[in-house]
Amino acid sequence: QQNKQTEPKTISLGILERLNAGEVVVGDGGYVLQLERRGYVKAGHWTPEAAVEHPEAVRQLHREFLRAGANVLQTFTFYCSEDKLEISGNVTNITGAQINEAACDLAREVANEGDGLVAGGVSQTPCYLNSQNETEVKAIFKKQMDDFLKKDIDFFMAEFFSYVEEAVWAVEVLKTSGKPVGATLCISPEGDMSGVPPGECAVRLVKAGADIVGVNCHLDPLTCIRTVKLMKEGLEKAGLKAHLMIQPLGFHTPECNHSGYLSLPEFPFALEARAMTRWDVHKYAREAYNAGIRYIGGCCGFETYHIRAISEELAAERGFLPPASEKHGLWGAGLQMHTKPWVRARARREYWENLLPASGRPTCPSMAKPDDE
């Protein structure tokens, strides 16, 4: 029976055990953009104080991702270094440590509702941009790591780095914990912001100790796959091995350059028309899988149902459907009972795979001119 949910395995394995065994690991989606829309994150600041202020909102989003098939829940700790919190000026009377710890508890609580792993996340710092001072930047990462180590996390994720150098520093710090470390850059196929090509970036990260490398955010899925492929080639040429991961945008950004979707005129408040459909995600998940990537998730713009679409596309490879598929007919099967005959005719894979969706915006263009051109 196609739509039956198989129970996920009950003995919890670590992230590396899973990847080493060749399993597909489904990541979670984007927190900051989604929680901005839900009313808990301030655009422009993008800081994660909601973990303290509105834990129910963060908990619910974690739960949705878990239910959609995510194997990993990242702590909601984006931009949660003290220097960033201070600059943003949005958070008062709450320390970074409080947020980091609350976020770990939330992720752990929900992960335990299923078979989820918790990844403690750190990201780029203003300090690096301002000083490039290795000692200072590493101290920031150390402080965050220590917050996490008070709690029960499974591994570390260093993500959203524009410069591989800063990511390397993060990895070097996090490796001292003894836990597995993943590292993703928000870069284009052109390389990082100082021009280091993706293959070379991957090599540096792995040499620094990263167990899993890849890209996240800033560009759309097909572009990110190209970048990860270049990382893979670089590692192979260097005779190195690492697991590959990808967490792209949930938006179509075909015209973007180096600086990604920040340069689009629609960023961040008019990106709706660029949002991927679940069918776009099916295609992405398949291509990522075919490229040899086994840790497949999403970043900004990836909503709950996009993660479910990854899980459904790779159901055969994983051996089960996620819990949320009990409320989703595969490839539109739920439409078979609709009252309108033309809607019933859409209850099939071929229809959705070939649809070219209209925007309903006839006075709008289909492509924009990025501001970094």
Q: List CB contacts of 86: < 8 A, sequence separation 6 or more.
A: none
Which two three-digit tokens encode residue 91? Answer: 């958070």
Q: Around Cβ 359, how many Cβ atoms within 10 Å?
A: 11
C-alpha triplet 261, 266, 268: angle, nearest 5°: 70
- Cβ proximity to a second copy, 158 vs 249, nearer residue: 249
- Cβ proximity to a second copy, 80 vs 205, nearer residue: 80
Min dist CB 312 to a second copy, Å, is 12
- Cβ proximity to a second copy, 195 vs 341, nearer residue: 341
- Cβ proximity to a second copy, 278 vs 294, nearer residue: 278
Which two three-digit tokens encode residue 336? Answer: 């078979």
Look at the chain and count its residues: 373
Q: Around Cβ 31, how many Cβ atoms within 10 Å?
A: 29
CA diameter of the chain:
66
- Cβ proximity to a second copy, 139 vs 270, nearer residue: 270
Beta bridge partners of 188: 191
Region class of 325: left (phi > 0), else alpha (psi between -120 and 50), else beta: alpha
Min dist CB 326 to a second copy, Å, is 8
Min dist CB 309 to a second copy, Å, is 10
- Cβ proximity to a second copy, 238 vs 262, nearer residue: 262
- Cβ proximity to a second copy, 209 vs 268, nearer residue: 268
The burial of 95, by beta-carbon neighbours within 10 Å (0-12 exposed, 13-18 middle, 19 or more buried), is given as middle
299 annotated ligand binder = yes
Min dist CB 113 to a second copy, Å, is 11
Spatial separation of the C-alpha atoms in residues 209 and 93, rounded to whole Å: 36
Which two three-digit tokens encode residue 198? Answer: 């993706």
Helix %, strand %, coil % of the chain (to 5) = 45, 10, 45
Spatial separation of the C-alpha atoms in residues 220 and 263, rounded to whole Å: 13
Min dist CB 71 to a second copy, Å, is 16
- Cβ proximity to a second copy, 146 vs 272, nearer residue: 272
Min dist CB 87 to a second copy, Å, is 8
DSSP SS3 for 243: strand
Min dist CB 60 to a second copy, Å, is 4
Min dist CB 129 to a second copy, Å, is 8
Per-residue DSSP letter, 161: E
Give me the DSSP letters along 287-318.
Answer: HHHHTT--EE---TT--HHHHHHHHHHTHHHH
Query: For the sheet containing 155-161, what is the strand order?
Result: 25-26, 295-296, 243-247, 212-216, 181-185, 155-161, 117-123, 72-74
127 annotated ligand binder = no
Question: Which residues are part of a known binding site for Zn(2+)?
Answer: 217, 299-300
Question: Which residues are part of a known binding site?
Answer: 217, 299-300
